[in-house]
């Protein structure tokens, strides 16, 4: 099984990197895990709608360049379907059972994901209506993927 997280922008915060590294190490028992960073588009604070769209499109192109045809893609989106940890675990297990051994999660930049990325995604997933920094979301997502594997392994970690 291959699990990949594609995130927009560089992760600078040491504590977030350390958390992701810890869960990546734990995940290595179950799957090949990698985080791929694509550059964010530099933009001024105040953007018009057209400029926002342009930023998302440029970031989207960079994201799509990192996705292979065979990958099953979860796009993180506020309007996506919320899942419990158990539901995500069951979904990952089902994908593996039916031959989808390459799973990719995509976290957009501060403006979200382009329409092209959302269209390419096989499904959209939401972690609720909270607004979280996309850098923190990488850590939260990595932990949830690890939790899914622990649920599927019948481990008490989930309790």
Backbone angles phi and psi of 49, in degrees to 5: -55, -45
Q: Which residues are annotated as a binding site for S-adenosyl-L-methionine?
A: 76, 108
What are the structure tokens assigned to 122, written together?
């096989």
Domain total for the chain? 1
What is the mean pLDDT of each successive set of 10 residues along the chain, which is 159 residues long? Answer: 96 96 97 97 88 96 97 96 97 94 96 97 94 91 97 87
In angstroms, the first-to-last Cα distance of the chain is 24
Q: What is the reported pLDDT for 42?
A: 87
pLDDT of residue 85: 96
DSSP structural state of residue 131:
-
Model pTM greater than 0.85? yes
> Position of tokens 């990719």?
104
Structural domain boundaries, residue 71: 2-158
pLDDT score, position 71: 98
The two tokens of residue 102 are 């390459």
Query: Could you tell me which residues are annotated as the binding site?
Result: 76, 108
pLDDT at 45: 83
**Residue 60 belongs to domain with CATH number:** 3.40.1280.10
Query: What span, in angstroms and rounded, lies between the C-alpha atoms of 117 and 65?
Result: 10
């Amino acid at each position: 099984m291959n699990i990949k997280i594609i995130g927009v922008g560089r992760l600078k915060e040491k504590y977030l990197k350390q958390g992701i590294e810890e869960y990546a190490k734990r995940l290595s028992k179950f799957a090949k895990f990698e985080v791929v960073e694509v550059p964010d588009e530099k933009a001024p604070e105040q953007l018009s709608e057209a400029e926002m769209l342009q930023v998302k499109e440029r970031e989207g192109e960079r994201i799509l360049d990192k996705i292979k045809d065979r990958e099953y893609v979860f796009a993180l989106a506020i309007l996506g379907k919320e899942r419990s940890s158990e539901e995500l675990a069951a979904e990952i297990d089902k994908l593996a059972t039916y031959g989808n051994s390459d799973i990719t999660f995509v976290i957009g930049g501060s403006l979200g994901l382009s329409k092209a990325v959302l269209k390419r995604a096989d499904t959209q997933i939401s972690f609720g209506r909270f607004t979280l920094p996309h850098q923190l979301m990488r850590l939260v997502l990595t932990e949830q993927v690890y939790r899914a594997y622990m649920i599927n392994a019948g481990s008490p970690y989930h309790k």
